[in-house]
Structure 1
Amino acid sequence: MKYLSHILLCLSLLFTSSTFALEQKYHEFVLPVITAFAAHDKPTIAALISYPLKRQYPIPDIKNETEFINRFDEVFNDELVAVIASSNIDTDWESGGWRGIMLNNGVVWVDTEGKIIAVNTQNAKEQALAKRLIEHDKQSLHSSVNTFKKPILDWKTANYHIRVDDLGDHNYRYAVWNIDKRAKDKPDMVLFNGDVTVSGSGSNHYYTFKNGRYSYILHVTIIGCDTSPPGWLEVYKDDERLLFEDVISTH
């Protein structure tokens, strides 16, 4: 029921929107964003961010305006700044319903209060930082799971510590520990060959891992409602749901 309540709330907000086209009333929220980027005004841009600004794991989220200004170049390189600054509000921006207003099919998202809520790119500087953090991350793990190409998720629920890693070519691995264990301990279970499914233009998606009749599904929230958790775990035996737990902390 808890999972269903998340979906019903989001759907109710979605269908109360009369149109998915960008209406004139939303221009006032997007125009200040375009203007700030055209002026390369970092303090103003920082004030237009909804914090924390999520970054792709293992990059830590940006928590406040001061940190954003210090890390500005990690998120916005010259190319992305130019794309936003030169964007046409009538042709490049469109409504995504309850999720907000998106630029170029979801590269940047702005909510209906004029705040930037998501930046779905990773430039060369952020990629270099990610590479360094990945090497550090590997040293904290048990030897059975410290080899991978790219970390995807590092989650904690009330009862579990969960990791998803890409072993290369989108070969996803799932590892889980009881919450009272360390990542240096051997995982309680490891599954391979997970699938990822993307849900719409907001970049929300979920990973599915199979173990016989059991399915382990990890839903990732990129754009959600105010009540949406960062994600949630579901476990099914055939069609019967055995477990539902919200994510309470990420990396």
Structure 2
Amino acid sequence: MANPISHIFILLLLLLPFSACDRSKSVSAATSGIEQSDSIPEEVKKLVSIVAKDDSAAFSTIVSYPLSRPYPLKDIETSEQMKQYYSVLVDDSLKSVIVTSRPEDWEKYGWRGWGLKGGAYVWLDTEIYDVSYLSARERMMLDSLTARDMGSIEEPLRKGWSPVMCLKGMENGTVYRIDSSHENHDGTEEPCYRMLVYNVGSQLSGKPSMILTGHKETEGSAGTATYFFVSDDGVKAVYMADIPDGSQPQIEFCFPASECDSLVHVSRAYWLDLETDSKTDRP
């Protein structure tokens, strides 16, 4: 007498091709509106088709690098990194929004290219250059890294602050970290910012060489950000985060006793990497 369990197993094997076929038909039906639309560019159609197939390799070829992620997550620098990161970035929620999107969900915003649902999810022109969406896994990673980052600095400087970016002087090796706080440190309702400066040889877990506080201003449709800081003893610093002409970023310092400004060329860095290296270098 045949085992009932073996009958069930055989039946499941027979049903698998039909299940896969049904899924394929379902995906095809979901994307047909985009594929058949004359108002949607080929770049958008290609993105929808690739995400529908969960093709990480193909997805990596339509991204403009580096693809930025909210700090202290690391930016995605190469197509190989993108292949590995794809499942983290494109979770079920983002996939569903893209695959089931309708032509009216996409809109062109001049030089900014095409945005999905007002740009809340993804931006692309000839390639994807920004993913505004943050997956659930990325949020968990972000929370964990933020806690590690803030826990690595001097204890009195931690409460109420979150990391924004880290910079390193290209010539002097000085480390500059920028943090933000929504507490009204300056008496306004706007977020407050600070810059902590660590001269070469300083322990990143110890007291900063200088502390400056300030604010951020954004200009133009591109939202170019500039940070303005001042220390208690009158030292001023200005940092433009996005250089329109693509030149090397720099921090401009103005010291009260000096007749001229001091320019420090900087590059983006990752605080947790620098902090780990500083521990390794200790005797």
Please confirm whether the aligned pair reaches a TM-score higher than 0.5, indicating the same fold: yes
Q: Is the 8 A contact 1:73 1:125 kept in 2?
A: no
> How far apart, CA to CA, are the structure 2 residues paired with 1:26 and 1:199?
30
* Contact 1:164–1:173 (CA under 8 A) maintained in structure 2: yes
Q: By how many angstroms is 1:187 displaced?
A: 0.9
Over the aligned positions, Cα root-mean-square deviation in angstroms equals 3.4
Distance in 1, Cα, partners of 2:62 & 2:113: 14
| DSSP-derived class of the 1:30 partner | helix
Amino acid at match of 1:123: S
Letter in 1 for 2:252: E
Can you give the 5+ residue segments of structure 1 that lack an aligned partner in the other structure?
A: 1-23
Structure 1 pair 106/218, CA: closer, same or farther in 2 (3 Å)?
Answer: farther
Q: How does 1:35-184 map to 2 (within 5 A)?
A: 35-87=49-101, 92-97=106-111, 101-107=114-120, 108-111=122-125, 114-158=126-170, 159=172, 160-169=174-183, 170-184=191-205
Cα gap change, 1:166 to 1:81, in 2 (>3 Å): same
Seen in structure 2, the aligned counterparts of structure 1 residues 70 and 191 have a Cα distance that, compared at 3 Å, is same
* Structure 2 CA distance for partners of 1:228 and 1:148, relative to 1, 3 Å: farther
Residue type matched to 1:140 in 2? S
Between Structure 1 and Structure 2, how many residues are aligned?
220
Structure richer in strand, relative to its length: 1
SS at match of 1:247: strand
Cα gap change, 1:91 to 1:103, in 2 (>3 Å): closer
Q: Letter of the 1:205 partner, please give it.
A: A
Q: Percent identity?
A: 25
Q: Deviations over 1:77-125 (max 9, x none)?
A: 333333333445676232442x6554444442324xx221222332332
2:108–2:114 Cα contact (<8 Å) kept: yes
Distance in 2, Cα, partners of 1:241 & 1:105: 45
Q: Which structure ranks higher in relative contact order (CA pairs < 8 Å, sequence separation ≥ 6)?
A: 1
Note the alpha carbon deviations across 1:160-194, whole angstroms, 9 max, x for none: 311111244433222112244331242111123x2
CA distance 1:241–1:172, shift in 2 (3 Å):
same
Q: 1:75 to 1:198 in 2, by over 3 A?
A: farther
**Counterpart residue type for residue 127 of structure 2:** K
1:32 aligns with 2:46: yes
Counterpart of 1:141, as a letter, is: I
Name 2:11's counterpart in structure 1.
none
Opposite residue 192 of structure 2, the aligned amino acid is N
- In structure 2, stretches of 5+ residues that fail to align are 1-37, 184-190, 271-283
TM-score (norm 2): 0.63
The 3-state SS of whatever aligns with 2:261 is strand
Q: 1:245 aligns with which of 245, 252, 264?
A: 264
Local SS of the residue matching 2:41: helix
Moved more, 127-136 or 64-73: 64-73
One-letter identity of the residue aligned with 2:253: V
